[in-house]
Amino acid sequence: MNSSPSPAAAVAANLDEAIGFTLPRRNARGRVVRLGPLLDHILSAHDYPAPIARILSEALVLSALLGSLLKEEEGQLTIQAQTESGIIDLLVVDYKAGELRGYVRFDKARLAALPSHRDLFALFGKGYLAITFDHPVAEERYQGIVPLEGSSLAEAAQSYFVQSEQLPSVVRLAVNDTGHIAGGILVQHLPEGEEGRDRIHTRLDDPEWEHVQVLAETIKGHELTDSGLPLESLLWRLFHEEEVRVLRAQPLAKGCRCNADYIRSVIARFPAEERAEMVDERGLISVDCEFCSRVFPIALSAFDD
């Protein structure tokens, strides 16, 4: 990085953006994300208690970190954490073309009785983390599934990369004390370059990666959520000994893709007799969108030929 950005321009770019970067001399790449108003917009759809809002905020940051790696504009990244006996039995977030959405389903009574909310196992119990990359242009879908283990969502994500991708990674996620700003960083080792040989040959003890890992792990949570610290300045502070190439910022926005026309097209795929069973006393088929907490009433007559 030849020079630091101007303060005014950098601060304006702090919130609701993902910035990519590479460390070319160390065969590493990464993303850094900080969410602000976008976070409030998504969380406002439901009256989430603080522990649930925090874990959803971390998941949204993780979704932005991974989703911004997609090269296809129409590509989609989905993260799902699901359990059978946890206080949280379903968490799902996704990213598509810079748009984020997310939802958590949980047991309110069990959450209220929980003495500590910081431990991942306390909220989820035994479960799994599934990360799915959809590439519509190539007509490919890749999904990796790992046990939902570790003390945090960041640790579970690191396990995913090591186990499913054979890709050494550092993931850090943070939410500030007010709950209104969340940030995160992802740093990955790319042996032989990004288009190099199969990742199965990655050496977890590669000296270049060890150096990058040590630097990346010095990041502090308050640095990730400090809106007064420009993201490029954060990277400069973290990797000041290295050549850092910063990529163009990716703006992020709330993007629930539900709408009446889409829902109508989905319902139209059901046989007429099944549609008739969905109708309420008003003659409407009501479809809830948990992502944005909206109800879409569709008249049965809308499907008349």
Q: Which of 73-82, 124-133, 180-189, 276-285 has the lowest mean pLDDT?
A: 276-285
pLDDT at 281 exceeding the cut of 90 = no
Mean pLDDT of the 15-28 span: 94
What pLDDT, on a 0 to 100 scale, did the predictor assign at position 224? Answer: 96
Beta-carbon-side half-sphere exposure of residue 33 (alpha carbons within 13 Å) = 35
Terminal-residue alpha carbon distance, the chain? 62
pLDDT confidence bin for 200, thresholds 50/70/90: very low
What pLDDT, on a 0 to 100 scale, did the predictor assign at position 259? Answer: 72
Task: Please provide the DSSP assignment of the chain as one string.
Answer: --SPPPHHHHHHTSSSEEEEEEEGGGTEEEEEEEESHHHHHHHTTS---HHHHHHHHHHHHHHHHHHTT--STT-EEEEEEEESSSSEEEEEEEEETTEEEEEEEE-HHHHHT-S----HHHHH-SEEEEEEEEETTTTEEEEEEEE--SSSHHHHHHHHHHHHS---EEEEEEE-TTSS-EEEEEEEE-TT-TT-S-GGG--TT-HHHHHHHHHHTT--HHHHH-TTS-HHHHHHHHTTTS--EEPPPEE-EE-----HHHHHHHHTTS-HHHHHHH--TTSEEEEEETTTTEEEEEEGGGG--
User: 106 — phi, psi (to 5°)?
Assistant: -150, 165
pLDDT at 65 exceeding the cut of 90 = yes
Degrees to nearest 5, angle at CA 167 with 248 and 92: 70
Domains and CATH numbers, the chain: 7-254 (3.55.30.10), 260-303 (no CATH)
20's CB contacts (< 8 A; 6+ apart) are 29, 30, 31, 68, 69, 246, 247, 248, 250
Higher pLDDT, 8 or 136: 136
pLDDT confidence bin for 162, thresholds 50/70/90: confident
pLDDT at 176 exceeding the cut of 70 = yes
pLDDT confidence bin for 204, thresholds 50/70/90: low
Q: What tens digit of pLDDT does each residue of 252-262 get?
A: 999 877 777 77
What is the number of other CB atoms lying within 10 angstroms of the CB of residue 139?
Answer: 7
The residue behind tokens 């090591």 is 162
Q: Which of 40-44, 129-133, 195-199 has the lowest mean pLDDT?
A: 195-199
pLDDT at 222 exceeding the cut of 80 = yes
Determine contact, residues 259/213, Cβ cutoff 8 Å. Answer: no
Residue 240 CA to residue 73 CA, distance in Å, equals 32
pLDDT confidence bin for 120, thresholds 50/70/90: confident
Residue 155's DSSP bridge partners are none
pLDDT at 244 exceeding the cut of 80 = yes
